[in-house]
Structure 1
């Protein structure tokens, strides 16, 4: 009885114990990690096991570091954070269902660096339906091949950067919609079921630029912008689109949508139908300083009231059916 009275007096006098302070950096380890170490904030000397456990102890704007090679589990990100692998470590996320990384909270800034995200039945490697900014750096995202799946799916007005990342064997390599603004550089999109890079608008304005990128061996198109409403824009520079099942690069739009595709200093070759195409009332495609060659049908293809403009410095040759089809307008380079 006396002890209870003393404890009650102490609680009233000093208040409850303070909450555990969050840390700027937490560590995970496949070799020695244990999520019970969240009690001590997952330091390098006592790391956590899974990304999902470590995220609870990190302050917004902090980071989780994968110390050694192994699988670290799927994660839903609810705060601004960086998740990175140590140099030389394989930091894997295997996805049996759902998403590898889910970002669905407004205002977040997220960095993913050095991760390998692989599907064994998952929907999306990285799915963004809310958030402010995402940077995907030096990652590999593969085998998200279920119908309508994607290696990276963004349906939010977020700023996105994709740098030195490989998307392989997905339904779509990357798919942007919902007003996303994305920059892609030094990345590869290989053997995806439908498209390597898809910009798809049904509302708002979605904008993507891609520079020094390769999109090859995809089932339909290497790079494509499409809009049924709103607008989709795609700017491509110093890119390779090759051996895709139908088209290297293109844009299509209905009368209520608007698509703008600009291609410069790029190569579109050995695709199953066309090198570059434009289709639909709302589509506008401009090609400059590029080489369009050895495609199975036409080099340049215009249809259904689309606007297709080509500058005089393009090289269009050795396409099986002919250099062009439809109305291709000449545009004088500036």
Structure 2
């Protein structure tokens, strides 16, 4: 709570510094390394940071980078309306020394797109991207790295934490790298973790995503207290989770939390310090096909009633322990 309060204070201070940005005036805004936050964020008069550009941009509008630069205001960039930040081709940088790089909480029909960003925690920071509410989040062609704040729920490259009952959230991550996130005991690349909500549906698709050298790799967690019902439905395709300290791909459920259903196809989970793939808890089902699982402490396995099912098209060899043969399921 203290971190959230500090971020709100910082946001209020920044808005006070730039009173001309109180009203949105642009369908498309611009930032540049030579920009000024006294400018109207147009192509000829760009702003210096994303927070001011967001304030100057209508809901549903777009922000572009003219050149490569550091465009973060300091502690956090807060997105509370539908918007696209697109810096593909030049790479916009966001440095989050503490708290989060980008925090997103928008309306139930609203979409946010982040493209072409380098989001760095500078070996600190809680989350690269924290997504709490909205219809959909698209993360494309981004690098999210070095978020290493300590604590069981901190130090994640991407956190998806639905905070509204009966909500439906969709997350699409493509052509993105999640690297060096987490500490020696917590955090990781991507965490989906509904937070004290009821009957929330979270749909996540990872396509061509590299998750490397984190603590955990990819994790779906339905065990938070006071969370019940709903489902976490995740698809991982053409992706790699490798070199992580703990498990590469993991689903963890409780008896009354959301069900976890994962499909992993044409992907690799290799050289992780724990399991390559593990399903933990009675409501967790992970189905795998065309996977390479090698070099892990344990290849694939289950605990406490979880289920890992195989289409029998996988290569699970060369682990310290490959694991027991997985139950097969047919191709339809």
| TM superposition score normalised by structure 2 | 0.74
Q: 1:146 to 1:179 in 2, by over 3 A?
A: farther
Structure 1 range deviating more: 79-88 or 188-197: 79-88
Q: Which residue matches 1:207? A: 203
Q: Which residue matches 1:85? A: 87
SS at structure 1 position matched to 2:133: coil
Q: Which has the greater radius of gyration?
A: 1
Contact 1:199 1:225 in 2 (8 A): yes
Q: After TM superposition, give the deviation of residue 146 of structure 1 in Å.
A: 1.0
Confirm or deny that 1:223 pairs with 2:218: yes
Q: After TM superposition, give the deviation of residue 86 of structure 1 in Å.
A: 7.2
Please give the residue correspondences for 1:16-31 in structure 2 after superposition, counting only pairs within 5 Å.
22-31=25-34
Runs of 5+ in structure 1 lacking a partner?
1-18, 159-177
1:154 to 132, 154, 160: 160
Q: After TM superposition, give the deviation of residue 187 of structure 1 in Å.
A: 2.3
Contact 2:157 2:190 in 1 (8 A): no
Q: Which residue matches 1:187? A: 176
Inter-partner Cα distance in structure 2 for 1:182 and 1:21 = 27
Q: Which residue matches 1:197? A: 190
Inter-partner Cα distance in structure 1 for 2:26 and 2:130 = 26
Inter-partner Cα distance in structure 1 for 2:249 and 2:130 = 24
Q: 1:333 to 1:305 in 2, by over 3 A?
A: same
Inter-partner Cα distance in structure 1 for 2:56 and 2:312 = 59
Q: Which residue matches 1:332? A: 330
Inter-partner Cα distance in structure 2 for 1:245 and 1:96 = 23
Q: Which residue matches 1:300? A: 300
Q: After TM superposition, give the deviation of residue 260 of structure 1 in Å.
A: 1.6
CA RMSD after TM alignment: 3.0
Q: After TM superposition, give the deviation of residue 332 of structure 1 in Å.
A: 3.0
Q: 1:131 to 1:234 in 2, by over 3 A?
A: closer
Inter-partner Cα distance in structure 2 for 1:243 and 1:24 = 42
Q: Which residue matches 2:17? A: none
Q: After TM superposition, give the deviation of residue 21 of structure 1 in Å.
A: 8.4
Contact 1:251 1:279 in 2 (8 A): yes
| TM superposition score normalised by structure 1 | 0.74
Q: Which residue matches 1:50? A: 49
Q: Which residue matches 2:280? A: 279
Contact 2:138 2:173 in 1 (8 A): no
Q: 1:267 to 1:130 in 2, by over 3 A?
A: closer
Q: 1:59 to 1:227 in 2, by over 3 A?
A: closer
Q: 1:332 to 1:188 in 2, by over 3 A?
A: same
Inter-partner Cα distance in structure 1 for 2:202 and 2:144 = 22
Please give the residue correspondences for 1:1-334 in structure 2 after superposition, counting only pairs within 5 Å.
22-31=25-34, 33-38=35-40, 42-74=41-73, 75-85=77-87, 87-88=89-90, 90-106=91-107, 107-120=109-122, 121-147=124-150, 148-156=154-162, 179-193=168-182, 194-201=187-194, 203=197, 204-219=200-215, 221-228=216-223, 229-230=228-229, 231-257=231-257, 258-296=259-297, 298-321=298-321, 323-325=322-324, 328-334=326-332
Q: 1:332 to 1:179 in 2, by over 3 A?
A: same
Higher strand share: 1
Q: After TM superposition, give the deviation of residue 283 of structure 1 in Å.
A: 1.7
Q: After TM superposition, give the deviation of residue 54 of structure 1 in Å.
A: 3.3
Inter-partner Cα distance in structure 1 for 2:293 and 2:55 = 51
Inter-partner Cα distance in structure 2 for 1:78 and 1:285 = 34
Runs of 5+ in structure 2 lacking a partner?
1-21
Q: 1:119 to 1:43 in 2, by over 3 A?
A: same
